[in-house]
């Protein structure tokens, strides 16, 4: 059973392990965080938590019953009732519907708890899994973009139906 929680300081060890274990897997579809991310992880986590406390961003971890992080779902650049959605799921947990479930849960939280009305998301055109998660959670294609030097797509989601669709 996976549990979605807001990011807390005590998630640090499991979150760092998640990022290290999945670094190569994530780098295949999103830009690598680079060595500086791992070297300065504690400082970066403190910055994220401060940003979350200020209401600028909302960070979430998806954990298994033993506290291992299986994924992340983040809402960043919160302003004017909207935010950008980003998510990643561990390679060992991929293909089990966890991303769809977690994104749906965060959409509901975004509307009910954070007062957001619109979410935006982006993915490369060749990332069929990400496109499927977005479609299953009510996002609609908003246009073509270039992402990481590759063809990409932008998506939006009106959250007025967040409680009905998840």
DSSP, residue by residue, 116-138: --EEEEEEETT-HHHHHHHHHTT
Measured CA to CA, the distance from residue 74 to residue 95 in angstroms comes to 20
**pTM: predicted TM-score of the whole model, two decimal places:** 0.91
**What's the CATH number where 56 sits?**
3.40.630.30
Domain with 100 in it: 3-165
Looking at the structure of the chain, the number of domains it has is 1
Look at residue 165 and tell me whether its pLDDT is greater than 70.
Answer: no
Per residue in 111-152, pLDDT (tens digit) is 999 999 999 999 989 889 999 999 999 999 999 999 878 899
Q: How many residues does the chain have?
A: 166
């Amino acid at each position: 059973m996976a549990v979605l929680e807001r990011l807390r300081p005590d998630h640090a060890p499991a979150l760092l392990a998640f990022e290290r274990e999945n670094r190569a897997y994530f780098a295949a579809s999103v830009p690598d965080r680079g060595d500086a991310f791992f070297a300065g992880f504690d400082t970066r986590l403190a910055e994220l938590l401060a940003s979350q406390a200020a209401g600028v961003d909302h960070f979430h971890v998806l954990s298994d019953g033993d506290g291992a992080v299986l994924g992340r779902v983040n809402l960043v650049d919160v302003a004017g009732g909207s935010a950008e959605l980003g998510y990643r799921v561990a390679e060992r947990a991929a293909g089990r519907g966890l991303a769809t479930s977690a994104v749906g849960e965060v959409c509901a939280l975004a509307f009910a708890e954070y007062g957001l009305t619109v979410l935006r998301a982006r993915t490369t055109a060749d990332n069929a899994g990400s496109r499927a998660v977005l479609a299953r959670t009510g996002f609609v294609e908003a246009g073509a973009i270039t992402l990481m030097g590759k063809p990409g797509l932008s998506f939006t989601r009106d959250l007025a139906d967040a409680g009905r669709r998840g």
